[in-house]
Amino acid sequence: MPKPERDPALLPGTSAGVWRARSGVVRWIAIAVFLAALVFEYAVGVLPAGVEWLTVLALPIVLTLCAIALAQKAGRVLQRELVAGYTTYSDAPGYDLRHPVTGYLFRGWKTPPAPRPQFLLRFERPKAWAKRYPAAPTS
């Protein structure tokens, strides 16, 4: 699959929105691993031979710490984005809202933030969003 074109208005490197998404994925994996261990323990009755609860809990704990580190990285990158005048993390008033990967302008800084249900549509493909909600001029 070809890599999407990146708007030069984005800062170099990975955006805060991407770091936030990665943090969320790792967090959900940690929850799934922990719940799978609980279900296995209560469905079967015992853990497999040689496996202790500390071992079972180690992976979710490590994954949770990784998710926290990724969220902190997202926060540091978000600060740099806000200084640059845009955000890929959240729909904040007074800042351009851009797609985390392509940098497509969803909302200019003069336009008020979208209501919550409409804001969730930003996860659609940028071209579909552009047809449905044309961006306001940013000058």
Cα distance between residue 11 and residue 57, in whole Å: 38
- Structure-block tokens of residue 24: 């969320």
Task: Give the helix/strand (H/E) hosting 71.
Answer: helix 53-84
Cα distance between residue 20 and residue 24, in whole Å: 6
Q: Give the length of the chain.
A: 139
Asked whether residue 42 carries a pLDDT value surpassing 80, the answer given is no
Split at pLDDT 50, 70, 90, the class of 137 is very low
- Structure-block tokens of residue 44: 């079967």
- Burial degree of 99 (CB within 10 A; 0-12, 13-18, 19+): buried
Q: Tens of pLDDT along 61-82?
A: 899 999 999 999 998 998 898 8
Q: Tens of pLDDT along 76-134?
A: 998 898 888 888 887 777 888 888 888 888 777 777 776 655 555 555 555 565 565 55
Q: Which residues contact 122 (CB under 8 A, 6 or more apart)?
A: 91, 97, 99, 106, 129
